[in-house]
C-alpha cells in the first residue's frame, strides 16, 4: 500500500532517501491498511521541515491528515523545535486551511515549484509559543 501512495505522489526514491537519512516518518492506518503517511526533517538546534503529508484520496477529509500533522508537531516539540516550516501547493486550499488552523503563516512563494503542473508552492512557518 505504501508503494501505491508513493507512486501516486512520485516520491518513492525521495522517501527511501529520507528514511536512510534518519528523518521521522509516521503512517496513518485504518483497519490495518495504510491510508497516509507524513515525514519531518529536523534541522537542529531549533528548526524542522515537514517533508510531506499524504493521504489516500478516498480517505481524505476524515481526520487522517490532521492526526499525522499532530504527530509531527509533537515530535518537533519533543525535540525542542521552535520553528516548523512546510511547502504547500498554491492550489491546495484544503491543506492551506488545515495549516492555517495550526498557526502556520505564509512567508514566501516558490514560483512554478511543482512540476510538471508548474504550480507555485507557498512556504509556511509556525512558531512555537513559550
CA-based radius of gyration for the chain: 14
Widest Cα–Cα separation across the chain: 41
Active-site residue, from 99, 102, 113, 127: 99
Active-site residue, from 87, 101, 102, 114: 87
Which strand ranges, in their side-by-side order, compose the sheet holding 119-127?
A: 24-30, 33-43, 47-55, 83-89, 119-127, 105-114
Residue 99 is among the residues annotated as catalytic for this protein: yes
- Catalytic residue IDs: 87, 99
Amino acid at each position: 500500500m505504501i508503494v501505491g501512495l508513493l507512486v501516486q505522489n512520485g516520491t518513492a526514491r525521495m522517501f527511501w532517501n529520507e528514511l536512510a537519512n534518519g528523518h521521522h516518518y509516521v503512517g496513518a492506518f485504518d483497519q490495518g491498511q495504510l491510508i497516509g503517511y507524513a515525514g519531518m526533517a529536523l534541522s537542529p538546534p531549533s528548526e524542522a521541515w515537514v517533508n510531506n503529508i499524504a493521504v489516500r484520496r478516498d480517505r481524505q477529509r476524515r481526520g487522517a491528515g490532521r492526526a499525522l500533522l499532530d504527530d509531527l508537531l509533537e515530535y518537533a516539540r519533543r525535540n525542542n523545535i521552535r520553528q516548523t516550516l512546510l511547502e504547500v501547493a498554491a492550489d491546495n486550499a484544503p491543506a492551506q486551511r488545515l495549516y492555517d488552523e495550526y498557526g502556520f503563516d505564509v512567508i514566501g512563494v516558490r514560483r512554478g515549484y511543482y512540476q510538471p503542473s508548474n504550480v507555485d508552492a507557498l512556504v509556511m512557518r509556525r512558531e512555537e509559543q513559550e
